[in-house]
């Protein structure tokens, strides 16, 4: 994965971009169980050059997030499918109802950044919820280049920013 060159569009160096990121890594960790990490990467690669999105299913424990499954959900933003995503609310509802009583729940949202770094944008921040984990899969020229997971440090209305969450599989 390391040899793939990730383009760095100019906006990724902008003040607005940098201001959504917290410098330090979180002490918590995101653990992908079974094939969840691979599945997420496969979904991101298959959707290229469009931006894909989906949900993480698992548990939010004291030491972090445990992802047992990932599911693609339709990106209903067709006009800007290359650089924006909007989860289909019906898809969200269906998975949420299915999980009721299962012991698992929706714990995060993943999406891809085609030909862009795996760093969240100001738009991503405005859509982020506290308590959710947000993996971003960078797909460059059709190949997965990097994966980073992010959480928000506080309610966004209270100045919350994205903090990188280390992950393991």
Instruction: Give the residue numbers annotated as catalytic, written as ranges.
Output: 51
Compute the least distance from the CB of residue 161 to Zn ion, in Å.
15
What phi, psi does 38 have (nearest 5°)? Answer: -65, -45
Q: Report the distance separating Cα 155 and Cα 152, nearest Å.
A: 7
Interface contacts to Zn ion, rule CB under 5 A = 121, 124
Compute the least distance from the CB of residue 14 to Zn ion, in Å.
14
CB-count exposure of residue 5 (10 Å: 0-12, 13-18, 19+): exposed
Looking at the Cβ atoms of 40 and 66, the one nearer to Zn ion is 40
Looking at the Cβ atoms of 69 and 124, the one nearer to Zn ion is 124
Cβ-proximal residue to Zn ion, closest one: 124
Compute the least distance from the CB of residue 111 to Zn ion, in Å.
5
Looking at the Cβ atoms of 63 and 122, the one nearer to Zn ion is 122
């Amino acid at each position: 994965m390391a040899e793939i060159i990730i383009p760095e569009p100019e906006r990724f160096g902008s003040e607005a971009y940098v201001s959504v990121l917290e410098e330090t890594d979180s002490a918590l960790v995101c653990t992908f169980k079974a094939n969840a990490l691979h599945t997420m990467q496969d979904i991101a690669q298959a959707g290229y050059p469009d931006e894909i999105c989906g949900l993480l299913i698992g548990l939010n424990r004291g030491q972090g997030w445990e992802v047992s499954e990932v599911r693609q959900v339709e990106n209903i933003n067709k006009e800007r499918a290359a650089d924006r995503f909007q989860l289909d609310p019906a898809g969200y509802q269906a998975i949420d109802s299915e999980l009721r009583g299962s012991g698992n729940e929706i714990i995060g949202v993943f999406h891809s950044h085609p030909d862009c770094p795996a760093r969240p944008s100001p738009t991503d921040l405005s859509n982020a919820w506290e308590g959710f984990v947000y993996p971003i899969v960078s797909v460059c020229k059709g190949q997965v280049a990097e994966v980073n997971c992010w959480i928000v440090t506080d309610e966004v209305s209270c100045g919350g920013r994205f903090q990188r969450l280390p992950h393991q599989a």
